[in-house]
Each structure stands twice: as C-alpha cells, then as structure tokens.
Amino acid sequence: MIRSYTNYPLRKHHTFGTDASAKYYFEFTEAEDLAGFLITNKEWQNWPVLILGEGSNLLFVNDFEGLVINPNIPGIASVHEDRNNIWLEVGAGVIWDDLVEYAVLNRLGGIENLSLIPGKVGAAAVQNIGAYGMEIQNRIVSVTGFDLETQTESTLKIDDCQYAYRDSIFKNQLKDRYIITSLVFKLDKFPEFILNYGDLKTEVEKLGEVNLRTIRKTVIHIRESKLPDPKVTGNAGSFFKNPVVEASLAEQLLTIYPKMPHYPATDGKTKLAAGWLIEQCGWKGFRRGDAGIHEKQALVLVNYGNATGKEIFELSEEIRQSVQEKFGVELEREVNVISLP
Ligand code: FAD
Ligand code: EPU
C-alpha cells in the first residue's frame, strides 16, 4: 500500500499535539515500494527528507518544507531458532509495544522491561530505546534499510551501528538518509530477568511470581503512574538526555548537593538525572499558557492543549539555560526538533 500527499497535515502523526504540515508525504508498506517512488519522482533529490515513525520523539517548530517518508512496514516472523534463542525479523512499521506483547505472550525474554515505550520498531533502533535497566542494542542482531545517498539497500550488523546511550549511527552519519525497513532481534527462551532498576524488583514481587508477564505488568503500571499519556496530554517523553559528565564535576556537585542522584557511566564518567536537575531549578509543574513541565516528571515537557511547537521549544531553552547557570551542566535534547533554522 502506498499513500502520497502534498501539503499534508501531520497533527495525527506525532504525539506533541501541535499543528504542522509536510510539503510532501509518502507512506509505504512494502520495501520495494520505496525504490519505485524514488525512481519515478526524481525531484525528491532536491528536497530535505524526514523519516517518520509514530512521531513520539519529535517537536515541530515549523512546517516541514520537504519530503516526509513513513516506512510503515508490518510483520513479525521467526527466521531462526536454536535450543536457547529465537531470531525474529520485524518490520520497521510494527508498533514497538505490540512486539513486546508478542514476545511476552510467546514466553520470549529480553525486551519485557521496554514495555509501553511509544513508537515503532524502526525508530527504536535509531534511538537505542532504553528503560528500567534494558537497552534495545542488546537484542538487535542486524538492521536493514535503504540508503538515499547511495540508492542501495544494505544490512548493518550490530557492531556497525555505533550504539551508545540514546545514540547510534542512524542519529549521526546516517541521519535523514538511511530508511530502516526491518530489524532482526535475538530473544531468549530461558530468560534471565533484569530487575535492578530502582524498586522494580520489589514492585514485581508484590504480584507474586516473577515472570515475563508480571514484569511487563509492573513496568506498565510504573510508567502509567508517572508519565503523561500522549493520547491525553501532548508530550514526547524525556525532552533531554540524562547528562554524562566528568567524574570531577559530579564530585564537586555532590559536595554541595549530597542527595543528587548519580550513576556510573562509561569511560569513568558519571551520569546525572536531568529530571532532578530541572526540578531543583524550580521548573516541575510550571505552566505558561498551554506549554508546561509535567508535575510528576520534570524531564517531560507537555502541551496542555493549544501550545505551539515554538512555545514548547522556547520553554525548553529556558530550562536548558537555568540548568547550565545553576549546575554548570549542559543538557542535550533527546527530542528531535523539526526544523530549526
Ligand atoms: P519518531 O518520533 O517518528 O522518530 C524519531 C527519530 O527516528 C527521528 O529522527 C526519525 O527521523 C527517525 N526515524 C523514525 N523511523 C525511522 C526509520 N524507519 N528509519 C530511520 N529513521 C527513522 N524513549 C526511550 O528510549 N525510553 C523510554 O522510556 C521512552 N519513554 C517515552 C514515553 C513517552 C510518553 C513518550 C511520548 C516517548 C518516550 N520515549 C522513550 C521516546 C520515544 O518513544 C522513542 O524515541 C521512540 O523510539 C520513537 O519512536 P517513533 O516511531 O515515534 O519515532
Ligand atoms: N527525578 C527527580 N525529579 C523528577 C524526575 C526524576 O528528582 O522530576 C529523579 C528520580 O527521583 C530518580 C532519577 O531522577 O532519582 C531518575 O528518575 P527516573 O527513574 O524517573 O528516570 P529518568 O532518568 O528521569 C530515564 C529515561 C526514561 C526511562 C526511565 C526509566 C532518559 C533521558 N530518560 O528517565 O526514558 O523511561 O529512565 O528507565 O534516559 C525517554 O527517553 O523518553 C524516557 C521516558
């Protein structure tokens, strides 16, 4: 199935609930459709490109004056199996949480802590989605997609994807050019549970037996209790990444703020909690017009109704500046802002 439109409204295609439109919009459900479209519409080569999933990590501050490509490819198929593992090939357009539900129902472990993260499977591989002690890079075997620059399809093995915390090659060298069409995941038939994040273990144990279903149920419950539902209140999850700073800066801050949450990160660095830093600056629950900061999670900016993308963006820049002034820590956006001049 192919759908293509000009001057296409995007409000229903992202979770912040702001108005924006695309000059051109192309959605397809089979990988072969893309090559056909690109051959018959050569003028696309002069347009900026935005690859779209569910729009749960985007903030539109302007209309998109280019081509939006939505690879809405369905399908979950088992492609290999041995005694301990199953390899699943999954289309980029599959809703991420449908895949988690499928895995849990089929007693396959490895992604249950990532329950209820919004978005599609393709974008999960871009962002290296993570939550409750799990990251998707630990389950990806390979990523297949179409490179607009070389006009070829290719498959990247996990070691070529340059995964790090909320980072990958698809956010850097291959950004806006490599359209992910499918992924292969490796899941466990005899899973070892990861329950060391916060009070996850205690919460799961309250349900009795610890298994994939009770972990999924608990994660969903925790998430629903502190994150706003985008269907009700516009948002894109954490607006900023948790900053990774030099250990010396973290130690300096800990002498002033001994209760500051901090975690060991790679290369001897320290990860701080952006939500805590923002809350300390007094922003939690703040509202200006319809743009605000969630009252239960200071890392989540929200649209209470009719905020514009620009209003939300301006608020985010004020937050960034105040954290820099108070703590000397620079916050990096996790949300993709479309399109900054
Ligand atoms: P989009 O927002 O549409 O796109 C995100 C980026 O990926 C864009 O740069 C886009 O161009 C690119 N992209 C999308 N599809 C493709 C493709 N097929 N090929 C190449 N590039 C592509 N994230 C977490 O990691 N952990 C969380 O716990 C979490 N919680 C959230 C909670 C809420 C309430 C919300 C609203 C968001 C949360 N997020 C979280 C962020 C978001 O869910 C993820 O970033 C998700 O992977 C985005 O998926 P999407 O399909 O909506 O991508
Ligand atoms: N905190 C505060 N005030 C706040 C929010 C958090 O003090 O307003 C403190 C908490 O008390 C805790 C620490 O900050 O000590 C961490 O908080 P939490 O466990 O809620 O997680 P987070 O670091 O704010 C990250 C991810 C989430 C993910 C959760 C659970 C990032 C940027 N965010 O949030 O991912 O769901 O952990 O693993 O890494 C997303 O990426 O969109 C997202 C929601």
Q: What SS3 string covers the chain? A: CEEEEEEEECHHHCCCCCCCEEEEEEEECCHHHHHHHHHHCHHHHHCCEEECCCCCCEEECCCEEEEEEEECCCCEEEEEECCCEEEEEEECCCEHHHHHHHHHHCCCECCHHHCCCCCEHHHHHHHCCEECCEEHHHCEEEEEEEECCCCEEEEEEHHHCCCECCECHHHCCCCCCEEEEEEEEEEECCCCCCCCCCCHHHHHHCCCCCCHHHHHHHHHHHHHHHCCCCCCCEEEEECECCCEECHHHHHHHHHHCCCCCEEECHHHCEEECHHHHHHHCCCCCCEECCEEECCCCCCEEEECCCCCHHHHHHHHHHHHHHHHHHHCCCCCECCEEECCC
For position 341, what pLDDT does the model report? 75
Residue 49: phi and psi, rounded to 5, are: -120, 140
Which of 28, 30, 18, 90 lies closest to 55 in space, CA to CA? 18
For position 208, what pLDDT does the model report? 93
By most ligand atoms within 8 Å of CB, the mutation choice from 299, 320, 323, 329 for ligand 2 is 299
By most ligand atoms within 8 Å of CB, the mutation choice from 25, 34, 57 for ligand 1 is 57
For position 297, what pLDDT does the model report? 97
Q: Which domains does the chain have, with CATH numbers?
A: 76-225 (3.30.465.10), 229-338 (3.90.78.10)
The residues near 185 (Cβ < 8 Å, ≥ 6 apart) are 87, 88, 90, 99, 110, 111, 139, 140, 141
For position 9, what pLDDT does the model report? 98
For position 53, what pLDDT does the model report? 98
Ligand 1, pocket residues at CB < 6 Å: 15, 50-58, 71, 92, 117-120, 122-124, 126-127, 129-131, 170, 179-180, 227, 230, 235-237, 336
Give the residue, by CA position, lying nearest to ligand 2 atom 33: 238
For position 111, what pLDDT does the model report? 98
Neighbouring-strand partners of residue 51:
69
For position 248, what pLDDT does the model report? 97
For position 128, what pLDDT does the model report? 98
| Exposed/middle/buried for residue 20 (C-beta within 10 Å: 0-12, 13-18, 19+) | buried
Q: How far is the CA of 261 from the centre of ligand 1 (A)?
A: 25
Q: How far is the CA of 126 from the centre of ligand 1 (A)?
A: 8
Residue 314: phi and psi, rounded to 5, are: -60, -40
For position 227, what pLDDT does the model report? 98
Give the residue, by CA position, lying nearest to ligand 1 atom 25: 129
Which of 125, 81, 70, 80 lies closest to 99 in space, CA to CA? 125
Please answer whether residues 217 and 112 qualify as being in contact, where contact means their C-beta atoms are separated by less than 8 angstroms: no
User: Low-confidence residues of the chain, pLDDT below 50?
Assistant: none
Say if ligand 2 is within 6 A of residue 298 CB.
Answer: yes
For position 315, what pLDDT does the model report? 98
Q: How far is the CA of 275 from the centre of ligand 2 (A)?
A: 6
What tens digit of pLDDT does each residue of 225-241 get? 999 999 999 999 999 99
Distances (CA, A) of 93 to 72, 82, 173: 4, 27, 22
For position 267, what pLDDT does the model report? 93
Structure tokens at 52: 């779209």
Round to whole Å and give the CA distance between 109 and 84: 11
